[in-house]
Amino acid sequence: MLTSSDKNNELFLGIDGGGSKCKAIIMNKDNEILGTGISGPGNPLHGFEQATNSITESAKLALTDAGLAHIELNELIAGVGLAGVNLPVLFEQMNAWSHPFKTMHLATDLLIACLGAHNGGDGAVIISGTGSCGFVCVNEEHTIVGAHGFPHGDKGSGAWFGLQGVKQVLLSFDGVVEPSLMTDVLLKKLNCKDDTDLVEAVASQKATFYAQQANLVFDAAEVGDKVALAIVAEGAEYINSIGRTLAAKKPPRISMLGGLTPRLKSWLANDIKTNLTEPLYSPEVGAVLFARQQKAKESVQKPA
């Protein structure tokens, strides 16, 4: 248990805010993680108030977890990485927020993921979770590949794989494609009897719902289901193309992140797989690294 004497130590807050949850860590000046907290969605695209509430709540939970409930939010130097702020209007809105922290340094979730994966250095990340994209930082030049959102983008993501599985199952009911092992599994999972039930179950569903169906596609592919194999091959090839686009920028390291990584990685081309390195730290740590970098730049810029 830490005491009030820790008020003399500089404390950093790292935030990774996405569409489903907001994760926070508290780190001290020695880069030790003291506590963690998780709250609701942190993507301002789905609501500014929701995002700011989640950021604040996760920070408070992290302080409590660290035994630092006596520390006020205005004593924290915050690095905040959020999905959605790659859109300038949302970046400006979040940056104008009257936040409760000592200072706040705002970045995209892609940048903090990259900084965390490569311990603050240059590198690239391939992300395949609910969505998909690539990001590379070399000599302070940033490039995003994809990140266009579901369903018009995010190919090779959990949401994309799940949607393709549903589409193929519906086509199989019409006799347009051959029957698939996915059919019975999907119907049972969603408590459906036929294609009409299935259409009703999936109508107007969002990316997170479809991402929850992705595993059944991989399960079927791994036992040789031809329909599922075709889906996995198409999605994996898109992720291969992201990897090759990133590699052309000559990053010193490339890592793969996201919840779908364990299922998808083995299906990638050998030239991509052999080039991947394990991420060194989490995106939340990357958010702290970003805040430290920005604080250092501000110190240099201040007149003596």
Same domain membership, residue 233 and residue 212: yes
Residue 124 lies in a domain: no
Calculate the alpha carbon distances from 224 to 163, 171, 176 in Å: 20, 19, 20
The pLDDT of 28-55, averaged and rounded, is 92
Same domain membership, residue 164 and residue 115: no
Q: How many domains does the chain have?
A: 2
Same domain membership, residue 290 and residue 211: no
Nearest to 170 by CA among 191, 140, 145, 196: 196
Same domain membership, residue 242 and residue 289: no
Report the alpha-carbon distance of residue 18 to residue 12 in Å, rounded: 20
- Class of residue 1 by CB neighbours under 10 A (exposed 0-12, middle 13-18, buried 19+): exposed
Spell 15-44 as b/e; 16+ CB within 10 A means b: bbbbbbebbbbbbbeeeebbbbbebbbbbb
Report the alpha-carbon distance of residue 144 to residue 218 in Å, rounded: 27
Cis amide linkage into residue 262, ω under 30° from 0: no
**Element containing residue 295 per DSSP (H, E):** helix 283-301
Report the alpha-carbon distance of residue 60 to residue 64 in Å, rounded: 6
What's residue 297's pLDDT? 82
Same domain membership, residue 290 and residue 250: no
Same domain membership, residue 23 and residue 78: yes
What's residue 265's pLDDT? 95
Give me the residue label for tokens 């991420």.
279
Query: Hey, is 102 helix, strand or coil?
Result: coil
Q: In terms of residue numbers, what domain contains 17?
A: 4-119+281-301
Report the alpha-carbon distance of residue 61 to residue 69 in Å, rounded: 9
pLDDT digits (tens, 9 = 90+) for 103-160: 999 999 999 999 999 999 999 999 998 889 999 999 989 999 998 888 888 999 999 9
Query: Hey, is 87 helix, strand or coil?
Result: coil
Query: Hey, is 304 helix, strand or coil?
Result: coil
Residue 139 lies in a domain: no
With a cut of 60, say whether residue 13 has pLDDT above it.
yes
pLDDT digits (tens, 9 = 90+) for 152-199: 889 999 999 999 999 999 999 998 888 899 999 999 999 999 999 999
Residue 60 lies in a domain: yes
Higher-pLDDT residue of 114 and 300 is 114
Same domain membership, residue 165 and residue 266: yes
What's residue 20's pLDDT? 77
Checking DSSP bridges between strand 33-39 and strand 123-128, what pairing results, if any?
unpaired
Lowest mean pLDDT among 3-7, 26-30, 147-151, 237-241: 3-7
Give me the residue label for tokens 């259409």.
199
- CATH of residue 225: 3.30.420.40
> Residue 153's CB: how many other CB atoms inside 10 A?
14
Residue 219 lies in a domain: yes
* pTM of the full structure: 0.86
Checking DSSP bridges between strand 132-138 and strand 22-27, what pairing results, if any?
unpaired
The pLDDT of 235-242, averaged and rounded, is 97
Nearest to 182 by CA among 171, 168, 196, 195: 168
Residue 261 lies in a domain: yes
Checking DSSP bridges between strand 22-27 and strand 103-108, what pairing results, if any?
unpaired
Q: How confident is the model at residue 21 (pLDDT cuts 50, 70, 90)?
A: confident
What's residue 1's pLDDT? 34
Residue 265 lies in a domain: yes
Report the alpha-carbon distance of residue 38 to residue 32 in Å, rounded: 18
Residue 11 lies in a domain: yes
CA distance between the termini of the chain: 39
Residue 143 lies in a domain: no
pLDDT digits (tens, 9 = 90+) for 43-79: 898 889 999 999 999 999 999 999 998 999 999 999 9
What's the CA dihedral at 164, 165, 168, 169 to 10 degrees? -150
The DSSP secondary-structure symbol of 46 reads G
Number of residues assigned to the chain: 304
Same domain membership, residue 109 and residue 191: no
What's residue 6's pLDDT? 47
